[in-house]
Structure formats: structure tokens, C-alpha cells
Structure 1
């Protein structure tokens, strides 16, 4: 079950990254246009602000994708569901809520 959940999340994150990359490409194209004077547009965010927002979202998605990949690697290694701090089993409810969890509830607190 966990592999399926993690694999689905990995695909969702890849799709989101593709959309963010396309949006980033569009912002870069707009920034390079000689007529893009967004700094004086009182009704919208600036291209620089949009670029920063997209970059922050992209970094967040990449971080989550790395967590998913690490969880899939733990599944392959047979250590998935074991707390990296105390070595006890991570509660199934915690793994259901956060499939990438590396610690049990006690160690996470």
C-alpha cells in the first residue's frame, strides 16, 4: 500500500514540477520582453515577485520529492516504517498520514 501511495505522490510531484517549469519559462520570456514594464502595474504582482514565488514553490516540491524518493529507497531496503532515531516501528496511522515519515510520534515530538 505504501509503495502505491508514494508512487502516486511522486507522479503528482513530477506533474507539478512540469507545470512550475512551464510557468517559470513564461515568466522568463515575459521578463526578457522589452515591453514588459510590470514594475508600474498597480493591479498585479511584478514579474520578479512571480519568479520568486515560483522558485520557492519549485524548491518546496523538490524537497518533498526527495523525501518520497528516500521513503521508496527505505521500502526497497526493508527499513521503511522503522524510526531512524529509536529503531521502533512507526505507527501505521502516522505512515498513513505522512508516508514519508522517518520518525515515530514520540521521537518526532
Structure 2
């Protein structure tokens, strides 16, 4: 990839490089979803076997908090997977690397850190 902003049109090697990066991130995210799913199921199963008093847990952390924390991480991972799938779709359509808000190119540095980014830094900061 060049050291300028990525345009909507990629050379074949650039497109394959981006595709490989997104695919690798997707594989890692699927593994994370699987691990978090097993962890969540383990928490639920463990709680079903014993009467838990969350407010008086001797270890200090409530099982309800643990369950909610893992559920939130699982939700974030699923959302990231959806973002990666949408990025792959944008790549196929030829508009990957363009901000969905303003249409300007997304800087390469942002895409290297967040390959599924759909907005430039300026538009992302306004949306918050």
C-alpha cells in the first residue's frame, strides 16, 4: 500500500493485502467469540449448580458482574465481526478506504490500525 490515503480503487496486490488483513482479523475475532461463548456458558452452568449469593461472594466479585462482563465482551466481538464483514463488502464494491460520512479518503494509518474503519478520524470524532 502507498503511504498516502487509500483510494477507492486498489491495485491487485493492495486489494489482496487488505483482504488478507481483514481475513486474519476475522479469524481472530471468530476465535475470540468462540472462547467468550464457552466462558459465558461455563459461568451460567456453574451458577445453575450452586446457590450463589452475589452480594456476599467471598471472592469479592459477583457472578452477575462476571456474566455481564463476558456478555458485553461477546457483544463487542460480534459487532467487530459484522464491521469486518462490511469492510470486506466495501472492498469488493470498490469503496473501501472512503469515509461513509464525508466521502473523503481514510488515512492509511487509520486503516492499518482499524482495518474495518468506515469513517475518517474527523467524522468519527464528531459522531462521539
For the 8 Å contact 1:30–1:36, the answer to whether it is kept is: no
CA RMSD of aligned residues (A): 1.6
- Normalising by structure 1, what TM-score? 0.87
Structure 2 residue 38 is matched with structure 1 residue 22: yes
Partner of 1:107: 123
1:82-109 residue CA offsets vs partner (Å, 9 max, x unmatched): 1222222222222112111112234334
Partner of 1:49: 65
> Equivalences for 1:78-89 in 2 at 5 Å?
78-89=94-105
Taking CA–CA contacts closer than 8 Å with sequence separation of 6 or more, which of the two structures ends up with the larger relative contact order?
A: 2
Shift of 1:38: 4.9
Partner of 1:37: 52
Gap regions ≥5 residues in structure 2: 1-16
- Normalising by structure 2, what TM-score? 0.75
Provide the aligned length of Structure 1 versus Structure 2: 108
